[in-house]
Structure 1
Amino acid sequence: MENKKDLRIRSHVISEGVNRVPNRSMLRAVGFKDEDFKKPMIGIASTWSEVTPCNIHIDRLAEQAKAGAKDNGGAPMIFNTITVSDGIAMGHEGMFYSLPSREVIADSIETVTSAERLDGIVAIGGCDKTTPACVMAIARMNIPSVYVYGGTIQPGKLNGKDIDIVSSFEAVGQFQEGLINEEELYKVECHACPGAGACGGMYTANTMAAAVEALGMSIPGSSSTPAVNDYKESECRQAGELVVNLLEQDIYPRDIMTKEAFENAITVVMALGGSTNAFLHLLAMAHSAEVDLTLDDFERVRQNVPHLADLKPSGKYVMQDLYEVGGVPAVMKLLNENGLLHGDCITVTGKTVAENLAEVPSLKEGQDVIRPMDNPLKPNGPLVVLRGNLAPEGAVAKMSGQKISRFVGPARVYDSEAEATKAIEDNQIKAGDVLVIRHVGPKGGPGMPEMLSITAMIVGRGLGGKVALMTDGRFSGGSHGFVIGHVSPEAHVGGPIGLLKEGDIVTIDSDTQEINFDITPEEFEQRRNEWKKPAPKHKSGILAKYARLVSSSSKGAVTDLDLE
């Protein structure tokens, strides 16, 4: 790791010495003038793409960030990376590439920034993986940086009600069950996503944007301002200006991303009832920042944070509704006033969390998007870590919107999402069953696919809360119901979920935080001895590389753990 002062001037070598003439020639070709070689070089990492509405507008935002950096004395350049649309990848083999895309994005930003010797970065993301990936790259490189979230989509409207992408998935289940006809299904399809922006509920994109704002790596208000709001362009211009200021003040990402800052991020995720994917992504971001964060930290913070936000998928409102009553800054202000945040953490504004929040208006009077502290939806955070003989390294349950906390039933075991989907379509899954989908973990998937299609089918068929779903894969932020993911160790490496047999009685209890199956020690040992490691599903390409490198989900499913 280079020291801060070396990092501060690392791009300036381009203007020094006869041997640097070719470097300057290359930059003159892309628009640099003599005076630009005396300025810090600022990279604008854009995740613009036409493959998803989450990122369709980010090219315009990148131009604004570039203008802000230039106006404040920087020499900015835009470069791009990839994105994957989870909504489009969902329910088929494309989903195996979703989580690996996080590593591709982080690696590509690190590669370009390090190869070009850039002095600072503005990274602009939108869909689920771009936010954690950008922050992972920023944490690895530790050069002055600001993250900007592209913003949430506005809700679609149908028959006077708000709908979103999850409505589309659930409508498929309703159609298959005969609850709606083809014309009604078509109307949902046409109205669910009205324009630019990431999925509108407290799903993964909005969860991670809120977490990064709480972490201190984005400008206050970034996570809840809608994509189509004019302020987004102003925010990006401000982000470009801020990066130059951070260089001047010697404020670096690892000065911001401390253990206390990660605790702030977890606090906000719990209060908002965010996506279970926050566990994976915050663990990975902390790993990149060399911060010691574990599942136990999530559980420790959760115990003291009430669930306040009545947001989809289990609640009533969407992110735009939260924005209209004060947004994430107003929620953070409430949490800070009640002693639940580390207010002395520094942020990209150069001010502390508490200093930023002192300038923020409180939540609007009379609103019911965010419950009062003395009347929460749940007294503790709804994202619960479970452990037991099925998940000795841990599993994650999302209990928001659940009326029951304990589920006991027979295991219905499937080794792929496709097999489980067919079982649901054939009405083989009944109320009281524990539907198990395994061999879909980070290595076994490979890629730890999300199960939104499955959970939407269950809800659409009227089995929400009546069937438990357990997997070593993961869930979309849009999933709801009695769902338990990230079971670790995964089946592919010999985890106990791989030893389950059809009909084994499984107990899941969020109060006692247990996840067990009824088996004698002798039977357990016999099954373990009989277990054989499955052959790799891929022998070449990105999924083969990913499966060889990726860590357990309990470690964030990162690909650079213990490489020495």
Structure 2
Amino acid sequence: MTEHPKTPLRSNFTPGTSRWAVRRAQWSAMGISLEDQEKPKIAIVNTSSKLSVCFIHLDDVADMVAEAVRAAGGLPFEIRTTAPSDFITTAGRDGRYLMPTRDLVVNDVEAAVEGAVLDAVVFLSSCDKTTPAHLMAAARLDLPSIVVIGGYQRGGTFAGCSVDIDTVYESVGAVAAGTMTVQELGELADAGITGPGVCAGLATANTMHCLAEALGMTMPGSAPTRANSERMLTRAREAGRRIVEMVHEGLSARKVLTAEAVGNAVEVALALGGSVNCVRHLAAIAAEADLDLDVVNLVEERARDAVQLAAIRPNGPDQVWDLEEAGGVQTVMRTLLPRLHSGALTVSGRTVGELAAVARPADGTVLREPHDPVTPEPGLLILRGSLAPDGAIVKLAGVGAGTSRRFQGPAKVFAGEREAIAGLGDGTVRPGQVIVLRGMGVRGGPGTVFAANFVAALNGAGLGGQVAVVTDGELSGLNHGLIVGQVMPEAADGGPLAGVRDGDPITIDLDARTVDTDPVRQAGPVTSHEPGTDRGWLGQYAELVGPIQRGAVTRRPAK
């Protein structure tokens, strides 16, 4: 065990006070020695859940981290929170609960850690919403904090072909189009996943895993990584040891989560073609860190001369494990170093530049150099125009080489994705259209309503290159095609999307980076629910959530 100088701990209460006495009574009854009660008290935030394969391995990881904390001279406490899974938590209310669970986790962590006055936090992050939630909580609390990546799952084999959750997801469209039977889809689903962890593509979960490392909040070499691999477990043990050192060093989260760190994460997202959802999450992290930073503008500015360095599924032929073997995020950051803030500090105690100096160079195949990119454009693009004056996001990496750079077509408006998916079967959705799914944003839902299933079904039906989609609803990082997401302002805030009618011409121009409609009609707020009818958490969320361009964080509006 490493010896550390005696450090005053906020968790050590004054002897003789009521707080000291009643806590001692509780902990002594739990078998915690008086000596241990004086040590740094480390929260291990475990989003374990038996509802989803994303989280089922985290209990063992929590035990491993706790053992490392004890060996380093700390006292670990495991804390459980809500565990949202994009493919499980979306079942209820058309996915409305999914986005709000991000902020529910943040508040849950705050209540547990601040309520108990603990000294530091290790976050076990897995599915899409947990990683940004944990980074937001770290930024809000400003305690020594490390994120441990839960890792990606492995796919399987069906009909002699390699398959994964993405294959399953898009095949729903094949059923709707009549080219696959329900029985075949069921057999495919049974074979699609063969281990714990998150979706294996560069969707939101793996994107946020990578960006957590780009932000400096993981141990170096954490992302991407296969769930339960020796590499992942080694990083978990390292985190348990390092967090105790961080307490003694006074290295808190906001010393790492700086504006420079967010800029570095944006560069990695652009180079890899990460999920469109990462923009809202980075904005939320910046907001919780009290950074005066417009992340949408930052993405727009950095994208002007950025290039894409890798083509990881669903953006191209390479797999996320290929990126891991090519050196992962550390190699990406070495490759991007001239564009990064090299002096940004990481939880390891070393700077981005110091870590880049010992990282593996790019292999030139899976990960390319900036002078020889996969494409001479960034993986993400901000569009603006009469339909999205505050911006909208296209995952340029997922558009596809054969797709027209300029798409113009008549709008076909749907109130939700169920109606749109039905339109694939009855011929309502036709080539040449721009499908508009609106009233589905954070306030319009409330909580973003899923549009991602329709986009996946559209591709599964073979219409991905012939139909464009414009939405303020929730997309998946697995989605690909000409999809304009996170339209801002959303229709519930009276954005131009609210005034679009069937047949209105919509033009998407990737070269001009615009999305326009003519005429632009003023309309009142369009929601997918009756305002004031939601009770419970969704009703509270609707009252508190801010605009998505500022991260959709839950803060009471100023009077």
Structure 2 CA distance, aligned partners of 1:185 and 1:151? 26
Matches within 5 A, 1:184-223: 184-223=184-223
Q: Distance in 1 between matches of 2:129 and 2:117?
A: 25
Q: Is the 8 A contact 2:491 2:526 kept in 1?
A: no
Residues 90-109 of structure 1: pairs in structure 2 closer than 5 A: 90=90, 93-109=93-109
2:542 matched to 1:544?
no
Instruction: Determine if contact 2:269/2:379 at 8 Å carries over to the other structure.
Output: no
Shift of 1:300: 1.2
Shift of the 429–532 alpha-carbon distance from structure 1 to 2, 3 Å rule, reads closer
Distance 2:425 2:8 in 1: 59
What is the distance in 2 between the residues matched to 1:448 and 1:45?
25
Mark the CA change 1:45 to 1:19 in structure 2 (over 3 Å): closer, same or farther.
closer
TM-score (norm 1): 0.93
Question: What residue is the counterpart of 1:9 in the other structure?
Answer: 9
Aligned to 1:356: 355
Cα distance in 1 between the residues matched to 2:19 and 2:367: 60
**Residue 395 (structure 2) aligned to one of 398, 405, 410:** 398
Where do 1:276-287 residues align within 5 Å? 276-287=276-287
Cα distance in 2 for partners of 1:168, 1:363 equals 32
Cα distance change of structure 1 residues 19 and 261 upon mapping to structure 2, 3 Å threshold: closer
What does the per-residue CA deviation read over 1:433-478, in whole Å, with 9 as the maximum and x for residues that have no partner?
A: 0000111011111111232210111111111121110111121011
Q: Is the 8 A contact 1:390 1:516 kept in 2?
A: yes
Residue 412 to residue 118, structure 1, CA distance change in 2 (3 Å): same
Cα distance between partner residues in 2 of 1:535 and 1:327: 46
Structure 2 matches for 1:256-295, cutoff 5 A? 256-294=256-294, 295=296
Task: Find the aligned partners of 2:333 and 2:155 in 1 and give their Cα distance.
Answer: 24
Which letter maps to 2:187?
A: K
1:563, distance to aligned residue in structure 2 (A): 4.9
1:124 counterpart SS class: strand
* Residues 43 and 76, structure 1, Cα contact 8 Å, conserved in 2: yes
Q: Provide Cα deviations, 1:227-276, integer angstroms capped at 9, x if missing partner.
A: 03023222212111111111111211111111110011111111111100
Judged with a 3 Å threshold, the aligned counterparts in structure 2 of structure 1 residues 140 and 544 are, in CA distance, closer, same or farther, namely same
Query: Cα distance, 1:102 vs. partner?
Result: 0.2
1:373 aligns with 2:370: yes
The answer to whether the 8 A contact 1:407-1:468 is kept is: yes
Give matches, 1:154-169, under 5 Å: 154-169=154-169
Deviation at 1:515, TM superposition (A): 1.4
Give the C-alpha shift of residue 30 in structure 1.
2.7
Once the two structures are TM-superposed, the CA of residue 77 in structure 1 deviates from its matched residue by 0.8
Question: 1:124-523, aligned counterparts within 5 Å?
Answer: 124-294=124-294, 295-336=296-337, 339-364=338-363, 368-402=365-399, 403=401, 404-519=404-519
Amino acid aligned to 2:542: A
Q: Contact between 1:87 and 1:165, CA under 8 Å: does it hold in 2?
A: no
**3-state SS, counterpart of residue 122 of structure 2:** strand
Cα pair distance change 1:215/1:262, threshold 3 Å: same
Distance across 2 between alignment mates of 1:340 and 1:422: 46
Q: Distance in 1 between matches of 2:14 and 2:41?
A: 10
Deviation, 1:186, is: 3.1
What is the aligned counterpart of 1:559 among 548, 554, 558?
Answer: 554
| Deviations 1:151-185, CA, capped at 9 Å, x for gaps | 11123233554322121121121233233344542
Distance 1:30 1:451, change over 3 A: farther
Supply the distance in 2 between the matched residues of 1:321 and 1:161 (Cα, whole angstroms).
Answer: 18
TM-score with structure 2 setting the length: 0.94
Q: Judging changes above 3 Å, is the alpha-carbon distance between structure 1 residues 104 and 563 closer, same or farther for their aligned structure 2 residues?
A: farther
Instruction: Report SS of the residue matched to 1:12.
Output: coil
Cα distance change, pair 196–8 in 1 and its aligned pair in 2 (3 A):
farther
Q: Which runs of 5+ in 1 are unaligned?
A: 1-6
Partner SS, residue 143 of structure 1: coil
SS of residue in 1 equivalent to 2:88: helix
Q: Please report how far the alpha carbon of residue 45 of structure 1 lies from its aligned counterpart in structure 2 after TM superposition.
A: 0.6
Which runs of 5 or more structure 2 residues have no equivalent in the other structure? 1-6
Structure-2 change in CA distance of 1:160 and 1:331 (3 Å): farther
1:3 matched residue in structure 2: none
Structure 2 CA distance for partners of 1:325 and 1:17, relative to 1, 3 Å: same
Give the 3-state SS of the residue equivalent to 2:213 in structure 1: helix
Q: Is the 8 A contact 2:492 2:526 kept in 1?
A: no
Equivalent residues of 1:310, 1:369 under 8 A apart = yes
Counterpart secondary structure, 2:44: strand
SS in 1 for 2:97: helix
Aligned length: 548
Q: Judging changes above 3 Å, is the alpha-carbon distance between structure 1 residues 19 and 373 closer, same or farther for their aligned structure 2 residues?
A: closer
Q: Partners in 2 of 1:14 and 1:451 — Cα distance?
A: 54
Measured in 2, the distance between the counterparts of 1:64 and 1:70 equals: 10
- Once structures 1 and 2 are overlaid, which stretch shifts more, 275-284 or 421-430? 421-430
Moved more, 430-439 or 236-245: 236-245
The 1-side partners of 2:79 and 2:270 are apart by: 34
Q: Which amino acid aligns with 2:164?
A: D
Letter in 1 for 2:432: G
SS in 2 for 1:400: helix
Structure 2 CA distance, aligned partners of 1:94 and 1:78?
Answer: 32
Alpha-carbon shift at residue 90 of structure 1 (Å): 4.2
| Alpha carbons 1:15, 1:37 under 8 Å: kept | no
Q: How far apart, CA to CA, are the structure 1 residues paired with 2:348 and 2:77?
A: 22
4+ long deviations beyond 6 Å? 530-534
Point out the more displaced range, 254-263 or 368-377.
368-377
8 Å CA contact 1:15, 1:24 repeated in 2: no
Distance 1:188 1:439 in 2: 33
Match of 2:410, SS state, is strand
Distance in 2 separating the partners of 1:501 and 1:181: 35
Structure 1: distance between partners of 2:69 and 2:122? 9
Q: Cα deviations across residues 133-155 of structure 1 (Å, max 9, x unaligned)?
A: 01111110001111111011123
Report matched runs for 1:29-178 at 5 Å. Answer: 29-90=29-90, 93-178=93-178
Report the 3-state secondary structure (helix = DSSP H, G, I; strand = E; otherwise coil) of the residue aligned with 2:317.
coil
Larger mean Cα displacement after TM superposition, 102-111 or 226-235: 226-235
Per-residue displacement from partner, 1:485-531 (whole Å, max 9, x unpaired)?
A: 111111122111111111000111122121111116xxx3xx44x77
SS, match of residue 96 in structure 2: helix
Task: For residue 515 of structure 1, give the secondary structure of its aligned residue in structure 2.
Answer: strand
Q: Is the 8 A contact 2:226 2:321 kept in 1?
A: yes
Percent pairwise identity: 36
User: Is the Cα contact below 8 Å between 2:424 and 2:461 reproduced in 1?
Assistant: no
Q: Which one is further off, 180-189 or 530-539? A: 530-539
Q: Report the alpha carbon displacement of residue 558 of structure 1 after superposing the two structures with TM.
A: 1.0
